Amino acid sequence: MKNLLVTGGAGFIGSNFIHYMQKQNADIRIVNLDALTYAGSLENLKDLPRPEQHLFVHGSITDRALLDQLFSEHKIDTVVNFAAESHVDRSILNPGVFVDTNVIVPVEGARFHHVSTDEVFGTLTREDPPFEEETPYAPRSPYAAAKASSDHFVRAYQTTFGLPISISNCSNNYGPRQFPEKLIPLMILNALNGKPLPVYGDGMQIRDWLYVDDHCEAILRILQDGREGETYCVGGDNQPPNIEIVKTICDILDELQPDSAFAPHSQLITYVADRPGHDRRYDINIAKIERELGWKPSHDLRQGLVDTVRWYLSNPAWVEAITKQSDYDNWLKKNYSDRKA
């Protein structure tokens, strides 16, 4: 792995992966292909450890001529695919965009690792066992359905064309550089500004939360030692309800900003109408990747949330740039203004 192509590398997880890889491997050269949709930003690529070994290319993974050019010029030997629209609420309002972006055809000619999601498995009751690699697919949102389609394409290319592939299905990521439409950064920024903290339904939806650097480490382990053709479930090994996440963020902000005019920040919590078809519970079994590759998350949830809150507090310029260059304000109005308490 000397010449790495990262698709979607200006987004949340992709940009963190590039930062992580440059810290881990001083010699690797990274070509970063990103279409710069609303959630992708060059702001995420500032302060790279080795900017001279990173090349950004504005383009799409669907542009075959561009891909052929990049493979030829840069001798690409490994591809890690992060390119995706990933917000379920947006997929409900505009499903077609998710089909266009997320149903990818794999790139031939190199080792291809595809980053997928646990949402392809559907939802769990409280009594169901966690998702694992052999869990049947049962997507319940346009986002999850599009990601499931791309997983099937990747496996089909292995079977039909012998493409060396691997897939990881991850749980909910959080950490630095996450576009603030998602739960954790949305709650942090709204609380800092004294805005309501909109919690869907009763707030008892359960998710497994994975700190983004732990996810990056898991992907590197798969690239280095994972078996060709295998799928690995990657999670944070925790399953709190959403309302607990929100209350923990409020507690952390109370500790870090005790003089805030909005403390206690929990007073900002507002329950709103639930998302249509909202999956009730996700849980993911990480036994396979721990057993085969020796990986397990190194961040516990509270410390990961503390680190995340501190990052957003320390990077107001990033927040301002990200929210101004996108449709962030319009999106918040569209998604939340009509939701009744």
Which residue numbers are catalytic? 118-119, 143
Strand-pairing partners, residue 34, are 58
Instruction: Give the integer Cα–Cα distance in Å for 53 and 194.
Output: 41
Radius of gyration of the chain (CA): 19
Taking alpha carbons only, the member of 145, 106, 144 closest to residue 7 is 106
Distances (CA, A) of 35 to 63, 80, 300, 335: 10, 15, 33, 24
The 3-class secondary structure across the chain, one letter per residue, is: CCEEEEECCCCHHHHHHHHHHHHHCCCCEEEEEECCCCCCCHHHHCCCCCHHHEEEEECCCCCHHHHHHHHHHHCCCEEEECCCCCCHHHHHHCHHHHHHHHCCCCCCCCEEEEEEEHHHHCCCCCCCCCECCCCCCCCCCHHHHHHHHHHHHHHHHHHHHCCCEEEEEECEEECCCCCCCCHHHHHHHHHHCCCCEEEECCCCCECCEEEHHHHHHHHHHHHHHCCCCCEEEECCCCCCEHHHHHHHHHHHHHHHCCCCCCCCHHHHEEEECCCCCCCCECCECCHHHHHHHCCCCCCCHHHHHHHHHHHHHHCHHHHHHHHHCCCHHHHHHHHHCCCCC
CB neighbourhood size of 331 (10 A): 18
